[in-house]
Structure 1
Amino acid sequence: QSVMHLGPAGELTVTSPLTEQAIVDNSTIAGWIMTFSELYLAYRMVLDEDVKILLLDRSLSATLNSLTTDTSRRSRWEEELSILGLEIDGLRLDKNDLAYARHHIVNEALGLPPPRGDYLRYALVLYLQRSRKAMSLQEICEGLGILGSDRVRRAEVYLEKSVKEGYIRKTGNLYEASQRYIGTWDRIRKLVDGIGTQLFEGKGCNPMKIRKGENYEWLTTRDVAFLSLFCFQALIEESWRRKVLIIGITKDTTATDFKAHLAPLCGNEGIWPVDAEGLRAVPSTDRMLLQAMSVFAYEQIPVPWSLIEYDTAFQTIVPDFKGRKGYISGGRRNRISRERLFLKSYVQLDQSARDPRLRSNVLLIDRLAFPDYDADKVVHFKQEYGGAEEPVDVLLYPDRDVTNEIQNLVMVLLSSMGARSIPEVFGHNKPLFIADKIAKAQRRKFSGIIEGTALWLMNSPRLRSFCFYMNTFRERREEVEYARRR
């Protein structure tokens, strides 16, 4: 079903499909607020409580990728965002502010954002903002290490686009960052702090409304998605600044990047000896493969154990389409995600005291990369993208002989946080288990309140006809059929 809305000139246009429920009742807002609350709590703990290790019950890389995707539909921002146009420090947030902030993950020591692929335009803008002076194309490319005529030509194209969009000013042959957007990230941080405080700490007014000029507007699902993304980016920024180790733990994963991406690539490059035919015959997911190996070779693989750590960018990397050594390609549309940001691994933490073959599930672990420990563990590849040959420098600990101090710390920490006396926590993490139980109990409590309120409204004589037409045919049919079965 398509939804009609008024376009910029007042004409009717057809947008991509949306469900009636999502339009009328903002049906996914509760889940988004849960996501934002978890990330905002983690962010405040880093700021206020001087934590040094932070555990999250989610994959860090998957969270960032998901939030980036959920905020990517720029054509819908005007209709779906209340924060667009909100005034902060005397300036209204515009589309350029939001587009710029969506990719604001900066760490010079790790080379982030990388000056390649889809991240080149952000690397150029950020470099000019940091330099605070007008620079020629050659100076910019030398500063970012952009070599080769093809790469320089791509950089020039993106600089000219940024001039048209207003991020950069051009005088003669010199480029300079626009003063309008130099303070964008600081304003975005204030937006996160302000709305986060209003939602979770405020009193009095409705926390789901924000003031724009003389009027109030409701926060939408898309607003909370943006706030979640910006909050996660701020959390990463503060963790680097305060040296806080963030660890994401995922219980049930169907990821296949180790088997399908990393192992074939390392085999092609001679990093590991890999039997390509044998690899295709093993279980389909990484977790199933590693659990099977652990069970069948339990005498050679003592618990706890961990896989080597590798860059989460390998999730989007495949061997070169042309079969060239030293080259790689992107798994989807030849695109490779941001490298040198997160490192991932798999761990198995516990086994039965009676039967060494009865072991806990394999968990996916990913963590924030740190320049003091990880920056020199780089493997260099090349990729052809956008008509240019670009370097892709990913993090990889190739074998157990390479010292990995952070992973050793993580293994000692996680191994000590289990609880064999609780069946559900066997080989998992007790603090995360308790936190999850508390969150679910609170969710059930408030779900009952919301459902009771909904029933009261639906049975109100004044709203009965309105509620009738707001329900879809399928919903009414399900209600009638359910009543008959009872």
Structure 2
Amino acid sequence: MSFLAEKLRRQTSELADLLTRRINDLKDKDGLASLIKNLSKSRTKTSFFEPGDYYAVGIDGSMDYDEVLEMLLFYVCATGFRCKFTVNDEIKFYLDEVFRDRRLMASTSVPLWIEDLYYVTEESDSTEYDLTRTAERIPYSLMTMAELYLALKAADEDDVKLILLDRPIHGTYGPVSRDLRLLLKRKKSVLFEMNTSHGPTSYLDFSLAFILGSGKGYIPPRGRYLPFAAVHRLLKVGECSFKELIEDLGISERVGRSMLKNLLKMHRDSGGRLFAEDFNPEDENPTLKIDGQVKNYWVRVKETSLLIVNRIFGSYEHPLMLSDDSWLTVFDLNAVNVMLIQMLREKVIDGKLLVVGIAKDTSASDYVRAVIPYARHDGLIPKDEKPPNLRHDRAFLTILSSVNSHLFDAPWRTISYDACFTTLVEGGDETPLRAARQRIVMERQFVKAYFQLREFKSDLGVRSPTFLYDRFYIPNVDDKFHAEIMAVEGRKKIKISPYWEGEGENPLDTFILRLLSKCDNPEVMEAMGHNQLLYLADKAVKNEVKMIRGLLRGVADLELGGLSRRQKIFTIARRFRDIRREVEGARERAVMEEK
């Protein structure tokens, strides 16, 4: 034992020395100062909102699940806390008047036989060891839906101007969009053909809504997004010739011919619903005319998504079982979650509302592996600046700010950058960036930055944690900040136009930092440098989940106990280990009574 203890001590000491060397390497990094925006040195006092009184809402959710008599019980809930704030020469949050908004509450419970679990998750090849991982996908999807639904409800209120989510928006969008992509690849879902006021939804509707959203955002005319950029243009003009279309999109005829073939494939995959008339991609200048029904794709998708949400959170029907052999799957739930994010984007894109997602424990590395290398290429930091010796953004920035406190005057933030950098890594001289995994996601959709709010006056090296925030790209503000970058995607060189704050200063991100700096709570350790509204919402939903778990289990026991007696299925409806434990307990009590 002493050998193991000594071995562990030496190994731990070696790792401690390694960390010390890494920390020392980050000292005196004045060359990185241009990547930091200190609020105290801000050149802009521009407010994103007109002077006045508004409300901020913080939303968080929680989840849990239990197993009762071979049945899984899922429970999720989300809630919102509201606070008044004033925007004038200064920003003031009335944190002593925070209250839980009873209109912003959503919860649901979902009972599910383990036998039916794989119908919902569509993981029929899973083993019993995958049960926990598989089961957790269901409440997590529902919790995500609850939070996004409450954010949409809050966004409908005129006096709410700031919505804070205890989750990154782009970090949420990535996983749920992967599920939607798989769903569209299968071309099969209960969401397709659901009735709406503008006819049944279709595979085509969800395909278009996935990329175009409401149709108000930017669609890059490149790669797999090019056909959608063409549809985006055609939805605005109705019809146009091939040559007019490629001129509008700014692409060559060769690229345009390939685009025509992809559009024709989209048309056929949709059952001939995309275009009013067929066209020959080999014709010199074919005319493309969008089918009239396609223009209502967004209305149909929104109605279908809200129908599912209302069923789950506002109905006595089983949330997932549509009929005996028809279930809402996790892929369906996350398809709806993608649409809820797109609906939030629609609310935000005109610039009258801010939705900010905050990530506490992110393990992202895009700032280190893509943002800093591009900043070096762009001349924002010296060419000879050594790359960081840490690969974890939050750890790197936390240590960097602590050992260079003269550069990091809290509150501070990093330069804001496009979320597409999450799919990029450092490239070469001609192409400074390349795709990390073959594909580069759409640019100008989400914007990210890291921030830190507090430092101790007695020791400037002691600070609150570093967090990440992200938000939707807002054209009327963010269009002034973007870069033209040559990157490698697959084996091709392409041009991307991501958001990039660079050496300028985006007044919107400075305004967000001002807002965040005014609504943490330095008197509570868990809320210091974070956010008081999200802290309270987190405490509320966790307590609610804890209290409701026993109640739901009791209800399920009461219902299933009678069923097992009537149908004489004791050993099917109950786990063997539970039956054995009860029988052994009864036997022990009987023996004790005889004595």
| 8 A contact 1:345–1:366 mirrored in 2 | yes
1:46-89 C-alpha deviation (Å, 9 max, x unpaired): 1234422211111111111111012222378677x432321113
> What runs of 5+ residues in structure 2 fail to find an aligned partner?
1-115, 281-285, 585-595
1:243 counterpart (345, 352, 356): 352
Distance 1:253 1:138, change over 3 A: same
Larger Rg: 2
- Equivalent of residue 525 in structure 2, options 384, 408, 423: 423
Distance 1:467 1:69 in 2: 41
Check 1:241–1:193 CA distance in 2 against 1; reply closer, same or farther (3 A cut).
farther
Say if 1:477 and 1:150 are closer, same or farther in 2 by CA, change over 3 A: farther
1:340 lines up with 2:444 in the alignment: yes
Is 2:319 the partner of 1:208?
A: yes
- Structure 2 Cα separation of the partners of residues 243 and 290 of structure 1: 32
Q: Distance in 2 between matches of 1:338 and 1:78?
A: 23
Q: Give the equivalent residue in structure 2 for 1:451.
A: 553
My pick for the range that moved more, 82-91 or 122-131, is 82-91
Indicate conservation of the 8 Å contact 2:410/2:454, yes or no. yes
Q: Tell me, what secondary structure is at the counterpart of 1:279?
A: coil
Residue in structure 1 matched with residue 142 of structure 2 by the alignment: 33
What do you get for the CA RMSD once the two structures are aligned?
A: 3.5
**Letter of the 1:238 counterpart:** K
Which stretch has the larger CA shift, 422-431 or 159-168?
A: 159-168
Equivalent runs, 1:355-374 vs 2, <5 Å: 355-374=459-478
1:284 aligns with 2:388: no
Contact in 2 for aligned 1:137/1:174 (Cα 8 Å): yes
> In 1, Cα distance between the equivalents of 2:451 and 2:167?
15
CA contact (8 A) 2:215 2:232 kept: no
Cα offset, 1:480, TM superposition: 7.3
The answer as to whether partners of 2:370 and 2:421 remain within 8 angstroms in 1 is: yes
2:261 pairs with one of 142, 157, 170 = 157
Question: Which of the numbers 419, 428, 432 marks the counterpart of 2:534?
Answer: 432
Aligned to 1:233: 342
Alpha-carbon deviation of 1:470? 7.5
Find the residue that maps to 2:181 and give its secondary structure. Answer: coil
Aligned pairs (5 A) from 1:376-415:
376-383=480-487, 385=489, 389-399=493-503, 402-415=504-517
- In the alignment, the residues of structure 2 paired with residue 425 and residue 387 of structure 1 have an alpha-carbon distance, to the nearest angstrom, of 47
Q: Larger RCO: Structure 1 or Structure 2 (Cα < 8 Å, ≥ 6 residues apart)?
A: 2
Is 1:302–2:409 an aligned residue pair?
Answer: yes
Partners in 1 of 2:539 and 2:232 — Cα distance? 42
Q: Which residue of 2 aligns with 1:99?
A: 207
Question: Counterpart of 2:160 in 1: which secondary structure?
Answer: coil
Q: Secondary structure at the match of 1:118?
A: helix
Give me the TM-score of the superposition, normalised by structure 2: 0.68
One-letter amino acid of the structure 1 residue matched with residue 544 of structure 2: Q
Residue 10 of structure 1 is matched in structure 2 by: none
Q: Secondary structure at the match of 1:52?
A: strand
Match of residue 232, structure 2, among 120, 126, 146:
126
Report the CA distance between 1:352 and its aligned residue: 2.6
Q: Give, in angstroms, the shift of residue 469 of structure 1.
A: 5.0
Q: Which amino acid is 2:343 matched to?
A: A
Match of 2:221 among 115, 134, 155: 115
What SS does the corresponding residue of 1:69 show, helix, strand or coil? Answer: helix
How far the C-alpha of 1:22 sits from its partner, in A, is: 6.8
Output the CA distance in 2 between the equivalents of 1:200 and 1:448. Answer: 20
Cα 1:364/1:387, change in 2 over 3 Å: closer
3-state secondary structure, aligned to 2:498: strand
Matching residue of 2:307 = 194
Give aligned-pair identity as a percent: 25
Q: Structure 1 residue 350: deviation in Å?
A: 0.8
1:194-242 deviation digits (Å, cap 9, x = unpaired): 333344345xx42626879xx9955443332222111111111111136
Alignment partners' CA distance in 2, 1:78 and 1:479: 44
- Match of 2:349, SS state, is helix
Q: CA deviation at 1:105?
A: 2.9
CA contact (8 A) 1:208 1:218 kept: no
CA drift at 1:416: 0.8
Counterpart code for 2:443: E
Query: Which residue is 1:462 aligned to?
Result: 565
Show CA shifts across 1:317-364 (max 9, x none): 2233xx34256321102x111111211111110123433222111001
- Partners in 1 of 2:570 and 2:430 — Cα distance? 63
* 2:372 counterpart residue number: 263
The one-letter amino acid of 1:86's match is M
> CA 1:314–1:350 in 2, change beyond 3 Å: closer, same or farther?
same
Structure 1 stretches of at least 4 aligned residues deviating more than 6 Å after TM superposition:
20-23, 209-212, 477-484
- Correspondences of 1:70-81 after superposition (within 5 Å): 70-74=179-183, 81=189
After TM superposition, give the deviation of residue 303 of structure 1 in Å: 1.3
CA distance in 2, matches of 1:242, 1:463: 61
Structure 2 counterpart of 1:139, from 235, 244, 264? 244
> Residue by residue, what CA displacement relative to the aligned partner does 1:95-135 show, whole Å, maximum 9, x if unpaired?
22222222233565x6x1211122122212222122112x2
Output the CA distance in 2 between the equivalents of 1:18 and 1:102. Answer: 28
Q: Which residue of 1 aligns with 2:172?
A: 63
Structure 1 position 256, deviation (Å): 0.7
SS at match of 1:84: coil
- Report the 3-state secondary structure (helix = DSSP H, G, I; strand = E; otherwise coil) of the residue aligned with 1:264: helix
Alignment match, 1:325? 430
Q: How big is the shift at 1:467? A: 7.4
Task: Give distance in 1, aligned partners of 2:185 and 2:287.
Answer: 34
Distance, in Å, in 2 between the alignment partners of 1:459 and 1:396 is 61
For residues 230 and 467 of structure 1, the distance between their equivalents in structure 2, rounded to whole angstroms, comes to 43
Give the distance between the partners of 2:330 and 2:170, measured in 1 at CA.
22
2:190 to 77, 82, 85: 82
Determine helix, strand or coil for the equivalent of 1:96.
Answer: helix
Query: What is the CA distance between 1:384 and its match in structure 2?
Result: 5.2
Q: Provide the rounded CA distance (Å) in 2 between the counterparts of 1:193 and 1:70.
A: 19
In 2, Cα distance between the equivalents of 1:483 and 1:365? 54
Which secondary structure does the structure 2 equivalent of 1:352 belong to? coil
Displacement after TM superposition at 1:481 (Å): 9.7
Is 1:184 aligned to residue 297 of structure 2? yes
SS in 2 for 1:247: strand
Once the two structures are superposed, the pairs formed by residues 306-317 of structure 1 within 5 Å of their partners are: 306-317=413-424
Assess, with a 3 A threshold, how the Cα gap between structure 1 residues 482 and 289 changes in structure 2: closer, same or farther: farther
- Cα 1:364–1:338 shift into 2, 3 Å: same
CA contact (8 A) 2:200 2:300 kept: no
For residues 13-28 of structure 1, the aligned pairs below 5 Å read 17-18=125-126, 28=137
